[in-house]
Amino acid sequence: MGWLEGETALVTGGGSGIGRAVVERFVEEGARVGVLELVQERVDELNDEFDDVHAMQGDVSEWEANERAVAETVAEFGQLDVFVGNAGIFDDAVHMADLTPEEIEAGFDELFSVNVLGYMLGAKAALPELLETGGRMIFTASYSSFYPATGGFLYTPSKHAVAGIVRQLAYELAPKVRVNGVGIGYSPTNLSGIDALGQESSSAVPEEIDERYPLPIPMPEEYAGYYVLLASERDSRASTGTIVEADSGLSIRGADEPAGGYDL
């Protein structure tokens, strides 16, 4: 019997990277999984590959998509026990000095609508069902939820906001719903860049990133076990408001940036 036997989860951004790895591991552990995914091709792949997955196309920054994802997951599987807020985009570690005011405004609107608003709307949509089951919320946080230098001027504040979402919701929803996060360090996940800034996706591990970490860079599937643990009612019952720092030891070494972090 798996750790999540008989449970139902909803994962946003579950078509690639960390999200896809979480979906696969949840199914392996006995769960049935709804997925809200932006890219239709990935939706089709998930539905073709898994019997216990119901994937839907939609934008996490839109309330209707989140509400529909919850409704369809419950209609398909009868309940909702776990919500995983995971969809996100990156800012290519861009520095403030390299952005115009107009680029800051456009980049903020695009990135925060996914990385922050998307988590808030997903949590709001899932809450009524999670109250019925005594469920759990799990959010994909980051090393950048605590420290600078690995993200940029837009991404790092967005991931600090995720830490605030975890702690505030844990406070608001206790004891009925537990809320935790996983602070990812780095993994080649093909994370999308900001369209408004002309940034593209990349799954390569930059050499300078690789050299910063005490441990080898994990693949997405190596993070999935943290989500299983936090999704398990039996095995993480004492945790809420917690973000597990799964950063390959970067926090004990630091990002090895020069003083000030940038040559102005």
Longest dimension (CA), the chain: 57
Residues in contact with 263: Cβ distance below 8 Å, sequence separation at least 6, in sequence order: none
Distance (Å, whole) CA 119 – CA 123: 6
Contact in structure between 118 and 12 (CB atoms under 8 Å): yes
Burial class of residue 202 in the structure, from the number of CB atoms within 10 Å of its CB (0-12 exposed, 13-18 middle, 19+ buried) = middle
Contact in structure between 131 and 172 (CB atoms under 8 Å): no
Buried b / exposed e across 92-125, counting CB within 10 Å, b at 16+? bbbeeeebeeebeebbbebbbbbbbbbbbbbbeb
Distance (Å, whole) CA 260 – CA 247: 22
Distance (Å, whole) CA 236 – CA 81: 14
Could you give the residue ranges of the DSSP H alpha helices within 145-206? 155-173
Catalytic residue flag (residue 155): yes
Residues in contact with 34: Cβ distance below 8 Å, sequence separation at least 6, in sequence order: 8, 9, 10, 11, 53, 54, 55, 56, 69, 70, 72, 73, 76, 77, 80
Helix (H, G, I), strand (E, B) or coil at 82: strand
Q: Pick the catalytic residue: 155, 223, 226, 227?
A: 155
Q: Which residues are catalytic?
A: 155
